[in-house]
Structure 1
């Protein structure tokens, strides 16, 4: 073989290997997400929206997003971790440090052929409150600032344009000036693995509420995607339809598995006297006042005379904990002592002792039926007594307090203490459910 032919063959092999290697590199895995594949034609932008757990979840919902990665960016430190960022923020607020902290951010990698950058930014603006400065909801500090960190002039230009467009929409809705910083990306650091896909891996996490319910002004490029992916727009609840004296409002959000669980566990079985209503709008009912902004869903807020008096944030199946919270809003101090401290009223002093009308005795918080009046009898002990409860309405617990061995009974729906059961009742059960009358509510037939 001629020398020139050999050299040409070697050159072809080198070019082929180089091209193959380049192709391999353009379809690579994200080091923080080993199973995620980034397309050769992908683009990315880094966004700060407060806590990156909710930001990652919201941005990953967009069709065309290939990866949403939690991280830190925009600070002076080239290296940082979660504790570093928090500790530096504490020192800044105490005046013991100077400089610029990182913000919690999400790096959004997307396919421009499926999703435009303007659509990404529209989702960004709609998914948080960009007017709050160094905070987002209850998360306060410069590490929770709203931010867009771009990597070229085209991204900068579009970021500024979308900011101005969204400012007009916010102003028309009565909101203040946008505080979002728009700067070149610097010192981006991938967050620790346990922060990645946090709301998927942690069942006690919270869903982000999705901004201030002001839609990004649709353009020809965003109409289709915005209609399909933006937060559901609803009008604030009309307070005329609510109970002014006291009203429970459940603030929910789209695609929130914790909201669905709360509905399944609590709302689908609601029998409480407390009026309740749900809404997808994070704003209070018209002319009513929230004590502070909402930052997670579901959030249950109790209003009295149009003012927030208590709230319960988040839910992950802790039914008794929620009912205890509501019980502290509904019960008198005497009832609270019985319900939550295993207290006992003095004999012959409680209510419902002489109640003989046909009806039912219910849990004062949940409204669940506990006993029927036809099972009530006069035991002479000074407490309302029953031969049996409604099936499945109570639970039994060993009680060795006061140097005695007794069986405590609690409400199955709320977990509150009711009294004790003894084996000295009349037939046919020979049981005596000795119940505190003040913790029962009677509902006549």
Structure 2
């Protein structure tokens, strides 16, 4: 482990971005970062530069199955000046996290993209940042992120000549090239201040593992998440339990079922995040009174989100004034909603539900403007608006 004196008083995260020379320079330039050190992490061999290169050759020849170390940078930061998410925003933007065991001209598992956290509590933040950046990459037509995200299990500082390499060799090889896609925000969108979800226990079966994957990776949840222990703890027999807190006090507990599509969880969460009227619309196919709901005259550029999962449903550039008294859109984000036949009230209509949570949003009609000629007539009560600053 590093002997850096900052270990005693400041948080850190260990990041794999390909060659650590360029990664060190990129991360050190971020405001709030106190120090950066090049090193090797989370492999199963003795760590040194030459040993890692030799082991990678063995892996390619099929002569070993031991995991190699990743070239990494250890990043210490001042939490009074920046956050872990802001550090990770720089990480995502500074390399291409979709390439697997490759970065620039460097090929091999030792150049893999990776986030190794100092604590279990940091894992949900890392996973949430991945989900946030994946949405931006997907919108730009880029593939899935391949970044390894796990707890730090081993770290060895790199040799002295690797430290501050590009400061000592200004024309040296950098090897980094980002995707050109900006991280959407350096702070979590949190419309529910002083509230959050605490995750206790372990995911010890397929259902709970799939559930946690959906919660931590698939959905950019619009509230704080904190994980108290995971399967890497000794108490792996502790059942998975979710606790909702408000102002630091527990107000409710969820222990399952954890079966997809997680309807029981979303209903449980809704009782703490939504008003009674919102719950009625979301879970009982209710309708708000026309001209009385929010966002009817919202004209700022931004995203309309599911209020529970945080998934983007509509963008403001697809919004129009239909004169009906409800927020209306002529198009929807890809795969964001599901359509269901609705035969209630003696009519045959097409109901619009959020694909992530299954909550009722409204209905879609074929009397909208070009180019789709559709009108998604949506209850503003079951939307969140995130302004594109």
Q: TM-score, normalised by structure 2?
A: 0.47
Greater relative contact order: 1 or 2 (C-alpha under 8 angstroms, separation 6 or more)? 2
Structure with larger Rg: 1
Q: TM-score, normalised by structure 1?
A: 0.41
